[in-house]
Amino acid sequence: MGSKKQSALFLSLAFLYTLGLYAFYVKYVPLVKAFQIALAPFLVLAVFLTLIQVEWGTLFFIFAFPIINNLPYFFGISEPVPHAPTALILFLFYFLGWLLHQGSFRKEPYPRDSIFRPIFLFAAIIVMSGAITLFRYANFYPFLSPSIFELTANVRGVTSGGAIMSVVFTVLNYLTGLAFFFILMASAPSRDFLNRMIIALCSSTFLSLLFGLLQHFKDIRLGNNPISISQGLINSTFKDALSFGGYIAIIAPLLLGVCLTFKGRLRVFSFFMLPPSVYLIFYTGSKSGLLCLFLSSLVFILLSLKVILSLLKSKSLSLKKIRVSSWIVILLILAIFIGPIAFKDYFAKDFKIQLR
């Protein structure tokens, strides 16, 4: 495909996507003035930076993704008010900037790696499944029903409109993950750019942990939702406490890897984020988060020991590196295995947190 045809195709897609994004925004984003004023700078920056340079927009998205999820709660927007996840909205605008960039600046052909084939197939299955489920809750409007009736969809009293909204959000969550992976692969990131991505993610994680500690020691109601507040759980900068627990389970092994891979300030920075990460996960009420953190840390320890033993055999590991690696592994073992036992009564007595 020629560059002019490619530009015309992407600009046409961007136009159609903008129409769909506008309809989605009006339907699922609360048009509260104060909330819109706070959210707009993130969305504008996501589009503008990605339009100018995809790498800039990607770094901004990675940085902002963990820290804007609880933004609606500062303006009284929580359940049962229907609203789209803020991080999902951010990605949708980031993707708009990417489409505009492809239509305006990109001239190189796209890679044809075999890994993209199952991704596109999986995306097609998601869209097909989502469309069938959506029509089912809408009584197959407009084919079998003259309109969408707000019928009760389940025993919890969720109506057809709420079920359709849930389907839309679920499908978009799957598709945005696949789209973000495609964008990263298509841009062929260099090692230097990957390092900047890690720095951006570590920086936003630090802010998120800092806010979680502020909630814990100062006021649990700050930027929190009513359900988590009633159960004494910390959501930090995420939509709910369980999401925060899942994020900690994912980010903690990455921080460990940064400690062993990088040098200088980033190593120290990542190392000092590990204790608050392990500490706060007990206040998220997430059983799955605890289990994932335990399993991922155990796998990390086994892999680290295997690497250390192989380096010892080849005599390419210095004594200093052995000491640093040993201390990290020991501290991790203490936090994962001994910490829950030592603080079990403390948590149960003073905070009464119920794991789910």
- Per-residue pLDDT of the chain (356 residues), as tens digits, is 557 777 888 889 999 999 999 999 998 998 889 999 999 999 999 999 999 999 999 999 999 999 999 999 998 888 777 788 999 999 999 999 999 998 887 665 566 667 778 888 889 999 999 888 888 887 777 766 776 766 666 656 667 777 888 888 999 999 999 999 888 887 767 788 888 999 999 999 999 999 999 999 998 999 898 888 888 899 999 988 988 988 998 888 888 888 777 777 888 888 888 888 888 888 888 877 778 877 877 777 777 676 666 666 665 555 565 666 666 666 655 655 555 544 444 444 444 444 44
Domain that holds residue 329: 190-356
Residue located via tokens 């890994």? 115
Q: Are residues 222 and 84 in the same domain?
A: no
Which of 111, 129, 160 is a domain's end point?
111
Q: Are residues 172 and 32 in the same domain?
A: no
How far apart, in whole angstroms, are the C-alpha atoms of residue 76 and residue 334? 40
Per the structure, the count of domains in the chain is 3
How far apart, in whole angstroms, are the C-alpha atoms of residue 68 and residue 85? 9
Q: Are residues 232 and 140 in the same domain?
A: no
Query: Taking the model in full, what pTM does it have?
Result: 0.83
Is the Cα dihedral 281, 285, 289, 295 positive or negative? Answer: positive
Query: Residue 188 — left, alpha, or beta (φ > 0 → left; ψ -120 to 50 → alpha)?
Result: left
Query: Residue 305 — left, alpha, or beta (φ > 0 → left; ψ -120 to 50 → alpha)?
Result: alpha
Which of 165, 187, 209 is a domain's end point?
187
